[in-house]
Amino acid sequence: VNPHTHQVKLCDFGSAKVLVKGEPNISYICSRYYRAPELIFGATEYTTAIDIWSAGCVLVELLLGQ
C-alpha cells in the first residue's frame, strides 16, 4: 500500500488459470496462509470464491497491521 496515494498493487499471478466447468483442478494452489477452506479439504471443483477468501485474508492482515 502506498501511504501517499493509498493505492494497492496486486502482483504474482503465477498460479492464475481460467476455470472451466467440469475440468478438474488441483487443490494445492495458493499459499497455505491464504488457502480457502474447501482447498484445505482437497476440493478439486471450485470457483473464484477462493480468490475472495484470499483477498479477505490479506485485508484482515492490513487492518490488524500484521
Q: What is the pLDDT of residues 13-56, one digit of tens each?
A: 667 777 788 877 776 777 788 889 988 898 888 888 888 998 89
Per-residue confidence band for 57, with pLDDT thresholds at 50, 70 and 90: very high
Residue 66 predicted with pLDDT over 90: no
Residue 7 predicted with pLDDT over 80: yes
Q: Is residue 19 part of a domain?
A: no
Q: Is residue 10 part of a domain?
A: no
Q: Is residue 47 part of a domain?
A: yes
Q: Is residue 39 part of a domain?
A: yes
Q: Residue 59: give the domain boundaries.
A: 32-64
Q: Is residue 14 part of a domain?
A: no
Alpha-carbon torsion, ordered 9, 56, 63, 66, to 10 deg? -80
Q: Is residue 2 part of a domain?
A: no
Number of domains in the chain: 1
The C-alpha atoms of residue 36 and residue 55 are separated, in whole angstroms, by 10
Grid coordinates in use for 47?
Answer: 470457483
The type of residue at 14 is G
Residue 64 predicted with pLDDT over 90: yes
pTM for the structure as a whole:
0.67
